[in-house]
């Protein structure tokens, strides 16, 4: 699904995804990154194009399920964490709307699709090395404080 910008000759490519992280002892935060089968140096969070009339959030959950095997019930979405990432692909503008979500059980297995050849759980520094692109690095740096703030927020007693 595409949205036409003001210039009728330019079409915005729309996609959605989820920045999945897990917390290990320490606490240590690790990000889920998937390695493309077609471009071996390309690592990203689960994401993909919107299909039909689905919403960005529906697409984000669908793509995460298809690409990593993680279901909505495996994830705790950080409230208010919707963040767009805009860049150009082959001369066309693209906007990926991401949400940030914690993997509730850090031992939940990741099952990658054929679109990917590998996955990695990476610290922020390692994730920045893997994603490589300046825009993606800045985006990871923007997400990290949101995660840390959420983790440091006072949790209600159970």
CB atoms within 10 A of CB 16: 27
Query: pLDDT value at position 7?
Result: 53
Residue with the larger pLDDT of the pair 133 and 57: 57
Least confident segment among 6-10, 15-19, 49-53, 116-120 = 6-10
Query: Please, are residues 18 and 101 in contact by the beta-carbon 8 Å criterion?
Result: yes
Residue with the larger pLDDT of the pair 20 and 87: 20
CA dihedral 22→140→61→25, nearest 10 degrees, is 0
Spatial distance between the Cα atoms of 19 and 107, rounded to a whole number of angstroms: 17
Domain spanning 2-152: CATH 3.90.79.10: yes
CA dihedral 93→99→102→105, nearest 10 degrees, is -80
pLDDT in tens, 33-87: 999 988 878 899 999 999 999 999 999 999 999 999 999 999 999 999 999 998 8
SS3 64: helix
Across the range 19-42, mean pLDDT stands at 92
Q: What are the residue ranges spanned by the domains of the chain?
A: 2-152
Place of tokens 């825009």: 135
Spatial distance between the Cα atoms of 142 and 158, rounded to a whole number of angstroms: 30
pLDDT band, residue 6 (cuts 50/70/90): very low
DSSP per-residue codes, 68-128: H---GGGEEEPTT--EEEEEEETTEEEEEEEEEEEESSTTPPP---TTEEEEEEE-HHHHH
pTM for the model: 0.88
Query: pLDDT value at position 2?
Result: 42
Query: pLDDT value at position 155?
Result: 61
pLDDT of 8 above 60 = no
pLDDT of 154 above 70 = no
pLDDT band, residue 158 (cuts 50/70/90): low
Query: Residue 139 corresponds to which tokens in the numbers above?
Result: 């985006």
CB atoms within 10 A of CB 34: 23
pLDDT in tens, 119-128: 999 999 999 9
């Amino acid at each position: 699904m595409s949205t036409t910008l003001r210039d009728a000759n330019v079409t915005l490519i729309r996609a959605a995804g989820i920045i999945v992280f897990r917390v290990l002892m320490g606490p240590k935060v690790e990000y889920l990154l998937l390695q493309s089968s077609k471009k071996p140096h390309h690592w990203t969070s689960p994401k993909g194009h919107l299909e039909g009339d689905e919403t960005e959030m529906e697409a984000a959950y669908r793509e995460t399920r298809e690409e990593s095997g993680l279901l909505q019930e495996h994830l705790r979405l950080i409230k208010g964490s919707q963040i767009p990432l805009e860049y150009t692909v082959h001369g066309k503008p693209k906007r990926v709307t991401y949400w940030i979500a914690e993997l509730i059980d850090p031992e939940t297995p990741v099952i990658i699709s054929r679109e990917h050849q590998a996955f990695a759980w990476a610290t922020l520094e390692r994730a920045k090395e893997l994603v490589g692109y300046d825009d993606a690095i800045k985006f990871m740096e923007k997400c990290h404080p949101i995660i840390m703030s959420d983790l440091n927020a006072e949790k209600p007693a159970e």
